[in-house]
Amino acid sequence: MAIKSIISATYFLLFLHLLLTWASCTKRNQVYVVELFGGHTSTGDHKTLHEVENRHHSFLLSVKDTEEAARASLIYSYKHTINGFAALLTPKEANKLSEMEGVVFVHKNQPRIYSLHTTRSWNFVGLYGSLNPWEEVFNHTNGDLLTRATYGKDIIVGMIDSGVWPDSKSFSDEGMDPVPTKWKGVCQNGTAFDSSQCNRKIIGARYYLHGYEGEYGPLNEKEDYKSARDKDGHGSHTASIVAGRAVGNASAIGGFAKGTAQGGAPLARLAIYKACWPIKGQSKHEGNVCTNIDILKAIDDAIGDGVDVISISIGYSAPISYEDDVIARGALHAVRNNIVVVCSAGNSGPSPHTLSNPAPWIITVGANTVDRSFLATVKLSNGTNIQGRSITPLHMENCFYPLVLATDVEHPGLPSTNSGYCLDNTLQPNKVRGKIVLCLRGQGERIKKGLEVKRAGGVGFILGNNKMNGNDVPSDPHFIPATGVSYENALKLIHYVHSTPNPMAQLLPGTTVLNTKPAPSMASFSSRGPNIVDPNILKPDITAPGVDILAAWTAEDGPTRMTMTFHDNRVVKYNIFSGTSMSCPHVAGAAVLLKAVHPTWSTAAIRSALITTAMTTDNTGNPLTDETGNPATPFAMGSGHFHPKRAADPGLVYDASYMDYLLYTCSLGVTQNFNITYDCPKSFPEPFELNYPSIQIHRLNYTKTVKRTVTNVGWSRSVYKFSAVSPKEYSIIATPNILKFNHVGQKMNFVITVTANLGQILTKHGPDKYYFGWYTWTHERHVVRSPVAVSIP
């Protein structure tokens, strides 16, 4: 599992266990976040910023004995998000500060574990370059958008992640223009990373370690670089998905597909904010973690440095209120600065209510497959072929070997809960030698199962999905000839072994297959709505490729992540990885191009353009499906699969300003928790009245009207006609149902009325069940479509 993050809630900072251990003489210092009156600082002026820091320092000075103690206790001074700071304080000092004039909140940390968004299963597969799925989408749809956007050359993307591998060809600055003059960031020195590592592609890099070291102690420098250099691979992967240069003739481990690896906006500039660090050997938090104070500081700096888009493939594992969530809070300040913030929806699907990053000022991205897979077939001696998937670079001799089930070759007496999984030291070598073993998923690291088969002398291994995994077959780089099969195929293999006197099989080498159908379809791991933080906002917004995505790696480690409990020294420069972590930077790349083409658009206009132009069909022309094979609902795919070219010309947009978001927080009654300099007016719109490009109505009581405003960004004189697709449970109408525009920039209001059918209102109130519809404004060249989700009590 990717970077897991601990972003303990906003002001609730991490207890510094280890600091206590090192410095127990300092009387139970703990991390507090202190927020001051005066809101954020809106200027980027250096003098003012310096004054802010001095002001933070002066507060500390008033509770600490000496100047030095005050300096030493300050962890982070926040300038562009909250007006406040993180510091080491004793409870007494904290108490004293909280009573001082000018201080709004003093909060001690309450750790919260955010689980991260690469994939629900931690190890993903490695492969050198081949066709980048992003490029495939681009080629079909995007002829001139890249040119119009000058490949994103003036746009700066802030990546909040695990750092970057600056030496990757994907981050070459060859032929690039000088760094945009608006850039105010720095290139922070550190281990194996100095300012010379920044160039005209990676224009800035910083790292944030205080929150992490406070929680876990000093960084183990064998496990990561104390700098913006990426050890994990995740940060290099996501950065190259947004803005990697085209790197041709890349070839995979074991000679897999060759091709070009390329990001969505290949000339965009990257600003790296490393906030995620490894924690090894803690089974519950396998992977990387990012702490709240580190993430908030990263966003704070990104705003001050002048980025245009922020891509965050990090989140809390469960819904968390906006005001407790540093990503939501930081993003609101970013949006105030007209920075588009794109976040992953999470990898906790397919159960409902699993979605993270649901704030309406964020673009929330689900993940889907692309039309490429890595087929690796199991050939049975009875002549039948069973399809599997693998990118294992090892081939089996061209002959049949006995096929056995793990359950039949294990040491006797294994508890049934551990049986069948090929866990460490569970197989009997005398029964495995020279054979192919079928092991089940569900327990243990997938790649380790192959290592266990290898240890016991097996010649090959088949990873069988359990029922829960269904068709979600991973393409793994195993250490022994191997393939993965679906649950259904695993049952077939078990049946074959049971019904055949001498079951034999051969594992054929894996091959890259393009144009697979149907594609895209939702990844089962992609987190699902409904949004339980606020049931008035439909989330996720959109879906993008997030399965088996090829992108840059660290060129130092193996394709399986270093946080695995086995060692993998098969160095790869490009790797295949899955998760909403990978889909998020695709949409961030699209946002870069839209910003380049439409520099005056608001962040809401960019989100709206992406949402209302998304595709809802797959490459068979049928509705995009989910893991069940049924049409995916907006709780899985949002408005559908992103379509950058259409998004560049959406016709109409649903705009919203920072002030609209403040009014929205007023309607939720949480504005004060954001400590923004804003007094809510006496009356404000209801939350569902935020001018969002989708509609969600929670517990519709007979009928509800929802006001929306569209802005014409298409043809000056244009007529849009309304149409709707509603389920039998309710109807959707619009008043007026024709919008006539005379000029670009013109705004028109309309009201959507959603009415439940009588039979439905009379039914008893049960668990909330949502029904989905759509409404569309259509002009000869533009289709502006919005999903509608309604629960009927």
Ligand X SMILES: *[C@@H]1O[C@H](CO)[C@@H](O)[C@H](O)[C@H]1NC(C)=O
Residues of span 563-602 touching ligand X by CB under 6 A: none
- Catalytic (active site) residue 353: no
Q: Of 188-196, 221-229, 351-359, 367-375, which part binds ligand X (CB under 6 A)?
A: 188-196
413: left (phi over 0), alpha (psi -120 to 50) or beta: left
Q: Of 316-324, 378-386, 729-737, 783-791, which part binds ligand X (CB under 6 A)?
A: 378-386
Answer yes or no: are the C-beta atoms of 574 and 549 closer than 8 Å: no
Give the nearest distance from C-beta 257 to ligand X in angstroms. Answer: 12
- Distances, alpha carbon 530 to alpha carbons 183, 255, 359, 360, in Å: 39, 43, 13, 13
Closer residue to ligand X (CB): 443 or 672: 672
Radius of gyration of the chain (CA): 27
Q: Strand, helix or coil at 86?
A: strand
End-to-end Cα distance, the chain: 38
Q: Of 215-223, 277-285, 549-557, 672-680, which part binds ligand X (CB under 6 A)?
A: 672-680
Closer residue to ligand X (CB): 273 or 777: 273
Catalytic residue among 115, 117, 161, 521: 161
Catalytic residue among 240, 524, 581, 694: 581
380 binds ligand X, rule: CB under 6 A = yes
Closer residue to ligand X (CB): 137 or 605: 137
542-545 vs 363-368, strand pairing mode: parallel
Closer residue to ligand X (CB): 42 or 95: 42
Closer residue to ligand X (CB): 383 or 413: 383
**How far is Cα 177 from Cα 683, in angstroms, rounded to an integer?**
50
What x-and-dash track marks residues 690-729 binding ligand X by CB under 6 A? -----------xx---------------------------
672 binds ligand X, rule: CB under 6 A = yes
**How far is Cα 42 from Cα 49, in angstroms, rounded to an integer?**
10
Near ligand X by CB under 6 A: residue from 492, 727, 746, 757: 492
675 binds ligand X, rule: CB under 6 A = yes
What beta strand segments (E) does 229-305 contain?
Answer: 247-251, 258-261, 269-274, 276-279, 287-290
792 binds ligand X, rule: CB under 6 A = no
- Catalytic (active site) residue 313: no
Closer residue to ligand X (CB): 383 or 767: 383
Closer residue to ligand X (CB): 388 or 540: 388
Near ligand X by CB under 6 A: residue from 99, 144, 174, 383: 383
**How far is Cα 335 from Cα 361, in angstroms, rounded to an integer?**
7
Answer yes or no: are the C-beta atoms of 595 and 606 closer than 8 Å: yes
Q: Which amino acid is at 379?
A: K
Closer residue to ligand X (CB): 131 or 632: 131
**How far is Cα 300 from Cα 80, in angstroms, rounded to an integer?**
5
**How far is Cα 43 from Cα 53, in angstroms, rounded to an integer?**
14
Give the nearest distance from C-beta 3 to ligand X in angstroms. Answer: 27
Number of residues that bind ligand X (CB under 6 A): 26
Alpha carbon 203 to chain centroid, angstroms: 23
677 binds ligand X, rule: CB under 6 A = yes
177 binds ligand X, rule: CB under 6 A = no
Closer residue to ligand X (CB): 186 or 783: 186
Instruction: List, in order, residues 6 or more apart from 733 with CB less than 8 Å away.
Output: 722, 724, 752, 753, 755
Q: Of 31-39, 302-310, 395-403, 707-715, which part binds ligand X (CB under 6 A)?
A: 31-39
Give the nearest distance from C-beta 756 to ligand X in angstroms. Answer: 10
Closer residue to ligand X (CB): 34 or 604: 34
Residues of span 106-145 touching ligand X by CB under 6 A: 131, 135-136, 139
Helices (H) and strands (E) counted in the chain, each on its own, are 20, 35
Give the nearest distance from C-beta 491 to ligand X in angstroms. Answer: 9
Give the nearest distance from C-beta 10 to ligand X in angstroms. Answer: 13
Greatest alpha-carbon span in the chain: 84
Near ligand X by CB under 6 A: residue from 90, 150, 199, 251: 251
418 binds ligand X, rule: CB under 6 A = no
Residue among 580, 146, 521 at smallest CA distance from 357: 580
What x-and-dash track marks residues 198-237 binding ligand X by CB under 6 A? ----------------------------------------
Peptide linkage before 767 cis (omega within 30 of 0): no
Q: Strand, helix or coil at 47?
A: helix
Give the nearest distance from C-beta 126 to ligand X in angstroms. Answer: 17
Near ligand X by CB under 6 A: residue from 51, 194, 686, 780: 194
Give the nearest distance from C-beta 147 to ligand X in angstroms. Answer: 11
Answer yes or no: are the C-beta atoms of 326 and 292 closer than 8 Å: yes
384 binds ligand X, rule: CB under 6 A = yes
Near ligand X by CB under 6 A: residue from 49, 69, 103, 104: 104
Closer residue to ligand X (CB): 108 or 379: 379
Which residues are paired to 159 by β-bridges?
A: 272, 311
Q: Which amino acid is at 288?
A: N
**How far is Cα 338 from Cα 336, in angstroms, rounded to an integer?**
5
Sign of CA dihedral 442, 445, 448, 450: positive
- Catalytic (active site) residue 581: yes
- Phi then psi for residue 237, to 5 deg, are -65, -50
Instruction: List, in order, residues 6 or more apart from 320 with CB less than 8 Å away.
Output: 9, 112, 356, 533
**How far is Cα 661 from Cα 338, in angstroms, rounded to an integer?**
13
Closer residue to ligand X (CB): 455 or 492: 492
17 binds ligand X, rule: CB under 6 A = no
Q: Strand, helix or coil at 102?
A: coil
Q: Of 332-340, 398-406, 454-462, 492-500, which part binds ligand X (CB under 6 A)?
A: 492-500
Give the nearest distance from C-beta 486 to ligand X in angstroms. Answer: 14
Give, as one character, the DSSP assignment of residue 738. E
Instruction: List, in order, residues 6 or more apart from 767 with CB less than 8 Å away.
Output: none
Count CB-CB contacts under 10 A for residue 249.
9
382 binds ligand X, rule: CB under 6 A = yes
Q: Treating both helix axes as pointing N-terminal to C-terminal, what angle do 603-612 and 580-597 enclose, rounded to 10 degrees?
A: 110
Catalytic residue among 40, 56, 210, 234: 234
> Can you spell out the DSSP letters for 514-564?
ES-SS-SBB-TTS-----SS-TTS----EEEE-SSEEEE--SSS-SS-TTS
Residue among 8, 586, 665 at smallest CA distance from 295: 8
763 binds ligand X, rule: CB under 6 A = no
Q: Of 43-51, 189-197, 703-711, 735-743, which part binds ligand X (CB under 6 A)?
A: 189-197
Which residues are paired to 437 by β-bridges?
A: 404, 461
Show the tokens assigned to 700.
């519709």
Give the nearest distance from C-beta 496 to ligand X in angstroms. Answer: 3
Q: Of 381-389, 556-564, 604-612, 623-631, which part binds ligand X (CB under 6 A)?
A: 381-389
Answer yes or no: are the C-beta atoms of 507 and 460 closer than 8 Å: yes
**How far is Cα 167 from Cα 542, in angstroms, rounded to an integer?**
32
Residue nearest to ligand X (CB): 496
195 binds ligand X, rule: CB under 6 A = yes
Give the nearest distance from C-beta 489 to ligand X in angstroms. Answer: 9
Near ligand X by CB under 6 A: residue from 24, 189, 385, 620: 189
755 binds ligand X, rule: CB under 6 A = no
179 binds ligand X, rule: CB under 6 A = no
753 binds ligand X, rule: CB under 6 A = no
Positions that interact with ligand X (CB under 6 A): 37-39, 104, 131, 135-136, 139, 189, 194-195, 249, 251, 380, 382-384, 492, 495-496, 499, 672, 675, 677, 701-702
Active-site residue set: 161, 234, 581
